[in-house]
Amino acid sequence: MNHRQVLNSALSGLPAEKAGYFTELGAFIDETPLFEPQRHWMFLILASGLELIPPVLDKRTVAAELFAFVKKRLGSIQKAAYSQDFILKNGAPIADLATEFASIVSAAAMEAVRDGTIKSDEPDVIVYRWPYDNVDSFPYEDLDEEEEEDDEEVWRP
């Protein structure tokens, strides 16, 4: 199985928009000669972390972060991939490394949101509305309020 097949099999369960992002990212990694020595390992980490990696950053940025991560952690990645636990625990050692990479990408995405480089789809203002006319009971109406008052009177000395 080549590195593209590893990614393509992992993409099958993702929503179309997210799968499209990672397909384009995979194509960029595949076409960039700089990534050649680490390409297989990059695809392995990427395929394992698809669920956790936010698809909001520029693909070049994510690819560069992935390349740097793989280059830095290559010994750990190879040890995990060739370990007995990789087979017995369904790829768990690689999933741990992919989670670590996803946290790096998430931190970069949060920094980009703070800097204003990327715009969050979250609303700037959150409004809560209560459908009833009685504003005093917002947000929860305590129906047992009278019972609590009666209980307090019973227990007074």
Please check whether residue 156 lies inside any domain of the structure: no
Confidence label for 117 from pLDDT (cuts 50, 70 and 90): confident
| DSSP string for 21-76 | HHHHHHHHHHH-GGGGGGHHHHHHHHHHTTTTS-TTS-HHHHHHHHHHHHHHHHHH
**How confident is the prediction for the chain on average, in pLDDT?**
82
Please check whether residue 123 lies inside any domain of the structure: no
Tell me if 54 sits within 8 A of 105, measured CB to CB: yes
Mean pLDDT over 131-137 rounds to 58
pLDDT for res 5: 79
Number of structural domains the chain divides into: 1
Domain that holds residue 44: 3-115
Name the more confident of 152 and 127: 127
Tell me if 57 sits within 8 A of 20, measured CB to CB: no
pLDDT for res 58: 92
pLDDT at 70 over 80: yes
Sign of CA dihedral 70, 72, 76, 79: positive
Measured distance CA(108)–CA(27) in Å, rounded: 22
Name which of 95-99, 107-111, 142-146 the model is least confident about: 142-146
Please check whether residue 132 lies inside any domain of the structure: no
Q: Which two tokens stand for residue 138?
A: 């917002």
Secondary structure element (H or E) that encloses residue 81, with its range? helix 59-81
Tell me if 40 sits within 8 A of 78, measured CB to CB: no
Phi then psi for 147, rounded to 5 degrees? Answer: -65, -40
pLDDT at 139 over 90: no
Please check whether residue 101 lies inside any domain of the structure: yes
Please check whether residue 98 lies inside any domain of the structure: yes
Please check whether residue 66 lies inside any domain of the structure: yes
Measured distance CA(61)–CA(112) in Å, rounded: 11
pLDDT for res 87: 87
Please check whether residue 39 lies inside any domain of the structure: yes
Confidence label for 115 from pLDDT (cuts 50, 70 and 90): confident
pLDDT for res 1: 44
Please check whether residue 103 lies inside any domain of the structure: yes
pLDDT at 22 over 70: yes
- 26-36 pLDDT, tens per residue? 999 999 999 99
